[in-house]
Amino acid sequence: MSWSTAWRIARRDLSARFKGLRLLLVCLFLGAGALTAIGSLTAAIERELQDRGQELLGGDIQLSVWQRGLRAEERDALTSLGTVSEGVRLQAMAVAGQQTVPVELKAVDRVYPLYGALTLKDGRRVGPPPDGQAWLTQDAADRLALTPSMRFTIGTRTLTVGGIIAQEPDRLGEGFQFGPTVIVDGALAADAGLLAPGSMYRSKIRVKLPEGADATTAGEGFLDRFPTDGFDLRTRDQASPGADRFVSRMGDFLTLVGLAALVIAGIGIGGGVSSYLDARRPSIATLKVLGATSGGIARIYALEIGAAALIGSGAGMAAGVAVTPLLAGALDGLLPVAGGLVIAPGALALALGYSLLVALVFAAPPLLRARRFPAMALMRSRISPLGRDPAAIAVVIAGLAAIAALALLTAKDILLTGSFLAGAGAVFLLLAAAGGALRRVAARLPRPGNPIARAALANLHRPGSATGMLITALGFGLAAFVLLAAVQTAIDGTIARRVPAQAPDYFVRDIPKDRSAEFIRLADASAPGAKVELVPMLRGSVIAYGPPDAMTRVAEMEERPEGAWALSGERGLTYATTLPQGNTVTAGRWWSPDTTSREVSVDEEFADAVGLKVGDAITFGILGAEVTAEVTSLRRIDWQSMGFNFAFILSPPALENAPHNLAATIELAGNSPTAPLLQGMVRTFPSSSVIEVKGVMAQARTLLEQVGLATLAAAGVTVLAGIAVLLGAIAAARAQRSFDTVMLRVLGASRGQVLELLLFEYALLATVLAVVALVLGGAAAWLVIVQLFEFEWLPDWPTVLMTLGAGLAAVLIFAVLASLPLLREKPARALRAL
């Protein structure tokens, strides 16, 4: 039989409303729609990050350095590259009347912004504010209770609100901030006394290169010329590396969750195709009697199923494209996303590829089984079910391998993708084993005395029962619900319960080291009972490390080891006489209080990453000078202690003579008011800055909630796919269930009793699903929280159970609604059809 002849028969056989193949359409619609929406949104964000790189960064290249500005030779080198814009970023205290608010001060020069437009809410496109004025974000204005033309104070300067910022072009490129933004003229920070020697501020220098110039070449050339000066480099291609990395990993993760939903839907596809071919059994037998070959039969129904798969996938892809603008609107202000429809060919091709592969994997077994057997076997298959086709196993294995290969080839994080595929595969196997075990246990349990309970229990293990398939399909989605709810609430619980108990109320920076006693007296007077901890604070970069006679120069490294984060840019440094609380020496010894040597104690995890040992040396670049110290101990750090934690702690002789200030943590007693302390610090220490821990935690929790909502929505697709499988299983067993219902009605059962039987059966199934989802989802969440994040196991079980309950309620409602037509069966009409 030729393909054209097979298509002519298939077109005539295929219902215009796809009767019998609607489950396949629904499953592929859900999976392809989810994958398209996720892929299109990710592509749209990545495209915006790429296309608006200059605007988001504020230049073609950005160089940043701590605690100093540019030297003359550095400025000359950058000026030769293009237009240079210099600015300063630091924490400061803004005061308006009785309101005292920590803010992020952004001092910019006359050419800012090099790219994009700084727009105010009154419609003006502006540059830096005039002398004596400031541009405020809406958040800063609200917290200070200010409107345009009102006055406030920063440091020793009084400023006027010149306008409220509507759009800050380089906001995303600035990264995480510890307070609302206030933009001022470049000279104000120094004029207000905020840039004293040792102050913790960061100079950011942006360069606009000539058209066609290569940003990476220009930036790396500058670093090669000044390798030990502590500069961090970013280019327009990495305007916001944190956002780029977050989007890539979340895109990979959500794509994999969508793929899992599609695989779950594949179980429904297999059931739906089996049901469809079963209904076509007389037609297949007739074609074989008339001389059709097995290959011809396969062509006919492969074309029918393929056409349905293409239509279902296409409709899902169209829906995914249509919903992308809605998802983009939900992310407005968090990530850059262009409005309107987003057509991402790569995302569409990937969604189509996954959909067709899943359709092939799960439709192949029933199709091959139907074509392999002779006509008489097909005629009697209702009472003598067809056996399995060994060739189907090879097709399924090859298809699953192709799906895994496609996932790995298109992933940006292969380790994450491989781990997810392995974990999902293990979960599917466990769920399949649990489904098989449930059938065997149900068959061996004593028969209940109640006839309804007895019949419901029998339905779980009867021949043709879909129990195993439903446990696998629904269990994965519900376990994902438990996993995500437990992870989110455990992290939130750690923040809500542990952080307030351990974290200080404020971090204070830039306290003059010769006024530490005065600072403590101020804290005691303004907030009696407050606990204050003071530490020296400097910034420095690692220039070289290793054995003293063979040190590795960081600037000459082509690739940095995994986990060697402290080699990137400048890091916080301190010196101490005694071992800080929350630190434990794991190798070597802590120096004596009266040491005269330059020694350093290193975080053990960083030391393992770069191969540092006791006896090695590290050279730091600090304010243009090089300081070399011997590694005399390694430490284990409790990063959750929420106090001062440093990867590098040096002995006093190494740093105490360098220009620096102090930093402090303040932990208030009870419900002490904060206003007197903040106002006192502003009056007495105008150049110091304060970070409110509560505000930082609020930002972290908001971000966590947004990420949790996205992943929960993706997990919701897996539950919908599982429900589709459930509806397909009910539809596939419709004939057998109708017969059972008629027999029960003939034997005297009322409609209420039949409904009670259905409810009892689905309640048993839901109970098993709840246990399986709690065990698997809870175990996975524990591994993520305790083993991966190393947090305390503090999930909010009521929330977890409510989330699981909502999923189970949806399953039960759909199951009952799909089964209600069985109650309307007329016994006489059904018996005449036998």
Q: Which residue has the higher pLDDT, 642 or 650?
A: 650
Instruction: For residues 270-299, give the mean pLDDT.
Output: 75
Instruction: For residues 631-647, give the mean pLDDT.
Output: 83
Number of helices and strands in the chain (H, E): 27, 22
Tokens (6 digits) for 517: 């006693």
Residue 629 has pLDDT above 90, yes or no: yes
Instruction: For residues 175-186, give the mean pLDDT.
Output: 85
Tokens (6 digits) for 598: 């330059």
pLDDT at 506: 82
Instruction: For residues 502-513, give the mean pLDDT.
Output: 80
Give, in degrees to the nearest 5, the angle at Cα 564 between 653 and 178.
80
pLDDT at 63: 92
pLDDT at 272: 73
Residue 385 has pLDDT above 80, yes or no: no
Q: Specify burial of residue 658 (Cβ count, 10 A radius: 0-12, 13-18, 19+).
A: middle
Helix, strand, coil % in the chain, rounded to nearest 5: 55, 15, 25
Q: Which residue has the higher pLDDT, 344 or 466?
A: 344
Instruction: For residues 800-821, give the mean pLDDT.
Output: 82
Q: What is the DSSP letter of 179?
A: S
Residue 701 has pLDDT above 70, yes or no: no
pLDDT at 735: 58
Q: What's the pLDDT tens digit per position in 89-148?
A: 988 888 888 888 888 999 999 999 999 899 999 999 999 999 999 999 998 999 889 999
Identify the CA nearest to 758 among candidates 810, 805, 814, 801: 814
Confidence class for position 653, pLDDT limits 50, 70, 90: very high
Instruction: For residues 731-748, give the mean pLDDT.
Output: 69
| Backbone φ and ψ of 509, nearest 5° | -120, 160
Residue 183 has pLDDT above 90, yes or no: yes
Confidence class for position 246, pLDDT limits 50, 70, 90: low
Confidence class for position 77, pLDDT limits 50, 70, 90: very high
Most confident of 181-185, 371-375, 435-439: 181-185
Instruction: For residues 653-672, give the mean pLDDT.
Output: 85
pLDDT at 51: 75
Residue 20 has pLDDT above 60, yes or no: yes
- % of the chain beyond a pLDDT of 90: 20
Map residue 134 onto helix, strand or coil: strand
CB 262, CB 354: distance < 8 Å: yes
pLDDT at 652: 94
Q: Which residue has the higher pLDDT, 54 or 119?
A: 119
Q: Which residue has the higher pLDDT, 642 or 569?
A: 569
pLDDT at 48: 76
CB 207, CB 84: distance < 8 Å: yes
- Nearest 10 degrees: CA dihedral of 166, 168, 174, 178? -20
Tokens (6 digits) for 768: 């098993």
pLDDT at 464: 66
DSSP 493-537: HIIIIIHHHHS-SEEEEEE-GGGHHHHHHHHHHHSTT-EEEEEEE
pLDDT at 383: 45
Instruction: For residues 465-489, give the mean pLDDT.
Output: 78
In 97-197, beta strands by DSSP E: 99-108, 118-120, 125-126, 133-136, 151-154, 157-167, 181-185
Give, in degrees to the nearest 5, the angle at Cα 579 between 576 and 581.
115
Instruction: For residues 461-490, give the mean pLDDT.
Output: 78
Residue 336 has pLDDT above 90, yes or no: no
CA 446 remoteness from chain centre: 47
Instruction: For residues 586-594, give the mean pLDDT.
Output: 93
pLDDT at 181: 92
Q: What's the pLDDT tens digit per position in 399-424?
A: 888 888 888 888 777 877 788 788 87
Identify the CA nearest to 738 among candidates 620, 641, 824: 824
Q: What's the pLDDT tens digit per position in 562-588?
A: 888 888 878 889 999 999 888 899 999
Q: What's the pLDDT tens digit per position in 197-222?
A: 778 888 999 999 998 889 999 998 99
Instruction: For residues 323-344, give the mean pLDDT.
Output: 69
pLDDT at 546: 93
* Residue 82 CA: distances (Å) to CA of 186, 203, 219, 236: 20, 18, 12, 14
Mean pLDDT of the chain: 81
Identify the CA nearest to 661 among candidates 574, 596, 577: 574
pTM: 0.66
Q: For the ranges 100-109, 225-234, 268-277, which has the lowest average pLDDT? A: 268-277
Identify the CA nearest to 202 among candidates 600, 507, 510, 506: 510
Give the orientation angle of helix 294-330 with respect to helix 3-13, to 10 degrees: 60
Residue 168 has pLDDT above 50, yes or no: yes
HSE-CB of 121 using CA atoms within 13 angstroms: 12
* Residue 183 CA: distances (Å) to CA of 143, 144, 177, 293, 577: 16, 15, 14, 78, 40
Residue 228 has pLDDT above 90, yes or no: no
